Structure 1
Amino acid sequence: MSSEYPPPSGYGQQDQYGQYGQSKPRNGLAVVALVLGIVALLLSWIFVGVVLSIVGLILGISARKRVRRGQATNRGTATAAIVVNVVALVASIALSIVWIVAGSWFLNNGGQDYAQCVANAQANNDQAAVEQCARDFQQDVLNNS
């Protein structure tokens, strides 16, 4: 009496990595890279996003190489990690440039005077003076435009 169905694959058989029922190990490196990419994307508005995305990109590429060598299985996760980290890196660099340009504009348009005015007004606990600093800064920006 022969069965139409083959026996369950891998059941009771240990592979070269000491695991049962699975021919290749999972790729934890890809998962870590993907998590770093997501966190880097969320933090792309500050410089930390650049650092996290670079680390995640390196780990994602390493994970992809492990898949290519047959040491890991989740190629899709490794690829997603690379894509997310590249997007996070581009966003982080773009937003860093925006911060630098905005800060430069602020400093070149009386920002230091405004900051000093606000600091003096807050030291005297004078809210009306803080508001006057803001009005003066707005007027200076409009006059310089």
Structure 2
Amino acid sequence: MPPPPIGPDGPGQVPYGYPGMAPAHGYPGGGLQQPYPAGYPAGYGYGWPGIQPLPSNGMGTAALVCGILSTVGFLLWPVALVLGVLAVIFGAVGRGKAKRGEATNAGTALAGLICGAVGIVLVLGLFAFFIAVHR
């Protein structure tokens, strides 16, 4: 077993902490350890870049969900009509956000807009069918 290292103040004075840190008892100011000896400035650099905001993809996703539900469930025409209109609105807003760079799912928003429009057309076609049959 090797002998313990000799500290900068002589034998028996081994500083604790990380290597390169001066002992706490040698500094005035309440015994706080300093990462640099007194008189040396802290290092300068670029540092970490700021955290980028996450994309706001909620409108495009909501448009796709509402559009699919309105297209698949067009036989429940009141619900399908409302969901189709919401899908068209959410899809348009989602496309606008994607064009401004706030969202990354322009294709999802477009698919929701198209599915919502198809759902509205199916509901209107169902109305036309019922009107034609009951005349």
TM (normalized to structure 2)?
0.58
Q: C-alpha separation between the residues in 1 aligned to 2:112 and 2:131?
A: 28
1:101 equivalent in structure 2: 132
Match of 2:121 among 90, 98, 111: 90
Letter in 2 for 1:40: S
1:29 equivalent in structure 2: 59
2:51 equivalent in structure 1: 15
Report Cα offsets for 1:51-99 as digits up to 9, x if no partner: 2101110111000001011111111101111111111111111012112
Which is richer in helix? 1
Whether the 8 Å contact between 1:37 and 1:53 is mirrored in structure 2 is: yes
Where has structure 1 moved over 3 Å in runs of 4 or more?
A: 12-16
Q: C-alpha separation between the residues in 1 aligned to 2:76 and 2:129?
A: 11
Report Cα offsets for 1:97-142 as digits up to 9, x if no partner: 112332x24xxxxxxxxxxxxxxxxxxxxxxxxxxxxxxxxxxxxx
Q: C-alpha separation between the residues in 1 aligned to 2:117 and 2:124?
A: 11
1:62 equivalent in structure 2: 93
**Which structure has the greater CA radius of gyration?**
2
Answering whether residue 81 of structure 2 is matched by residue 45 of structure 1, we say: no
Q: Provide the aligned length of Structure 1 versus Structure 2.
A: 87
Whether the 8 Å contact between 1:46 and 1:95 is mirrored in structure 2 is: no
Query: Cα offset for 1:45?
Result: 2.2
TM (normalized to structure 1)?
0.54
Once structures 1 and 2 are overlaid, which stretch shifts more, 78-87 or 40-49? Answer: 40-49
Query: Cα offset for 1:13?
Result: 4.3
SS in 2 for 1:72: coil
CA shift in 2, pair 1:77/1:67, >3 Å: same
Q: C-alpha separation between the residues in 1 aligned to 2:117 and 2:51?
A: 35
Q: C-alpha separation between the residues in 1 aligned to 2:64 and 2:56?
A: 14
Structure 2 residue runs of 5 or longer lacking an equivalent are 1-47
Query: Cα offset for 1:26?
Result: 4.0
Q: CA RMSD in A?
A: 1.8
1:80 equivalent in structure 2: 111
